[in-house]
Amino acid sequence: MRDYPTPPFAPQAQAVPGSQRKMVPQPDCGEQSYVGSGRLEGKIALITGADSGIGRAVAIAFAREGADIALAYLDEHEDAQETARWVEQAGRQCLLLPGDLAQKDQCYKLVADTVAHFGRIDTLVNNAAFQMTHATFEEIPDEEWVKTFDINITAMFRICQAAVPSMAPGSSIINTSSVNSDAPKPTLLAYATTKGAIANFTGGLAQLLGERGIRVNSVAPGPIWTPLIVATMTDDDVKSFGAETPLGRPGQPVEVAPIYVLLASDEASYISGSRYGVTGGKPML
With a CB cutoff of 8 Å and minimum separation 6, the contacts of 215 are: 171, 172, 173, 206, 209, 263, 268, 269, 271, 272
With a CB cutoff of 8 Å and minimum separation 6, the contacts of 85 are: none
Reference 187, options 244, 236, 233, 228; nearest CA is 233
244: left (phi over 0), alpha (psi -120 to 50) or beta: alpha
User: What is the rounded CA–CA span in Å between residue 228 and residue 75?
Assistant: 14
Reference 44, options 75, 69, 22; nearest CA is 69
| Max Cα–Cα distance, the chain, nearest Å | 51
Which active-site residues does the annotation give? 191
CA dihedral 255, 156, 165, 48 (to 10 degrees): -50
